Homo-oligomer: A and B are copies of this chain.
Amino acid sequence: MFQVNENYLKLPGSYLFSTVGRKQREYQAAHPDKKVIRLSIGDVTQPLAPVILDALHKAVDEMGQAETFRGYAPDLGYEFLRNAIAENDYKARGCDISADEIFVSDGAKCDCSNIQEIFSLNNRIAVCDPVYPVYVDSNVMAGRAGDYNPMTETWGDVIYMPCTEANGFSPEFPKETPDIIYLCFPNNPTGATISKDRLQEWVDYANKNGAVILYDAAYEAYISEENIPHSIYECEGARTCAIEMRSFSKNAGFTGVRLGFTVIPKELKAGDVSLHSLWARRHGTKYNGAPYIIQRAGEAVYSPEGKKQLKEQVAYYMNNAHYIYNNLKDAGFQVSGGVNAPYIWLKTPKGMTSWEFFDYLLENANVVGTPGSGFGPSGEHFFRLTAFGSYESTVEAIERIRKMPL
């Protein structure tokens, strides 16, 4: 008699964003006259840039001619895209990463959740708290997280690194030594960044302790300040301890287009075994490449015209971020993030729990955000708002929040 993976049954409730979506739909169904504004899931709203559309149309045409039709893509992705990534995201920033260390995929969510597969189940993971839920949930499913404690809302075998007001939402080195460290900067959900000096300390810590850092840089395009690293490979020694994951979702509006990549330097080894070779094996065996037409769209992101158009798109969202940040601050809310990231991290007023504030906001302002506690226990009493709406709906949402009785 077949049996299920018992680890799945340990997961409490549903995935955070599914619950947020359900609550929104239920409220909307009960109040069909209300116009609910979503500042919740990190989903973009601006149409694809013209240069991306041109690349897609051109690639579709190629697929219609026998001479230019493309079947299965190369395992690691097309060279034209991997070269563009190596050149623009890495070499241009002085990072020593070559095209054959880049694995193209259909998005950072898949990569973030699949990457744990190449590690031993005995490894201990450390995560920022709060953090994007996929890191922990994928380890739970694999059986690496231990048991859930509903009182503390933590997993027994996971090392939590609190990111709090006290430490400026930048984690300290944990008391127990982890094997695998997930870092995400600019951070989802807090919008906090890490300085280059501090990230260098993390790289040194990982090299000293034989740990590997899984660095999620999905939001690097939103960095506006100097001395904030865009890649972990700006730090010395990162090639022997760090894997970096990137997405086209937030810098190019590809949430519905699906493209991302993972970088694994060839020096990154456990004894004789290179993690690059293991991930290559996984790609070859369990994945079949991102669509050709979408890899061409990714290439267009790096064209001069693409860079210009997407800089404007990022600026559009960052204008929203500044609007949210400034106006909520004016209104007396305690806010952070929003400077180098599209996320505003709000302290809930009057000691409300995150979910209490979620319900309060939905009912009184018809605005949907994401409860901070859904990202980890240290997110309790916080709330995430995103800058990915249209300017008009963002302004309206913030006006409603300001008028809300508190």
- Say whether A72 contacts B60, CB under 8 Å: no
Interface size class of A (residues with CB under 8 A): 35 or more
- Cβ of A406 within 8 Å of any chain B Cβ, yes or no, is no
Of chain B, the residue at the smallest CB distance from A117 is B5
CA distance A119 to B3 in the complex (A): 6
Residues from chain B with Cβ under 8 Å of A109 in the complex? 286-288
Stretch at the interface among A48-56, A228-236, A332-340, A352-360: A48-56
CA distance A211 to B117 in the complex (A): 26
- Cβ of A270 within 8 Å of any chain B Cβ, yes or no, is yes
- Cβ of A137 within 8 Å of any chain B Cβ, yes or no, is yes
Name A3's contact: one of B17, B66, B122 (CB within 8 Å). B122
- Say whether B286 contacts A113, CB under 8 Å: yes
Stretch at the interface among A38-46, A150-158, A318-326, A361-369: A38-46
List the interface of chain A (C-beta within 8 A of B): 1-6, 8-9, 11, 14-15, 17-18, 41, 43-48, 50, 53, 56-57, 60-61, 63-66, 69-73, 75, 106-107, 109-110, 113-114, 117-123, 133-134, 137-138, 141, 179-180, 209-212, 253, 255-258, 270, 273, 275, 278, 281-282, 284-294, 390
Residues A210 and B1 in contact in the complex (CB < 8 Å), given A11-B281, A50-B64, A69-B47: yes
CA distance A8 to B281 in the complex (A): 8
A-B contact pairs, 10 of them (CB 8 A): A5-B121, A18-B75, A50-B64, A72-B255, A72-B256, A109-B288, A134-B285, A134-B286, A141-B285, A256-B289
- Say whether A293 contacts B257, CB under 8 Å: yes
Residues from chain B with Cβ under 8 Å of A291 in the complex? 106, 256-258, 291, 294
CA distance A122 to B1 in the complex (A): 11
CA distance A61 to B212 in the complex (A): 42
CA distance A194 to B14 in the complex (A): 40
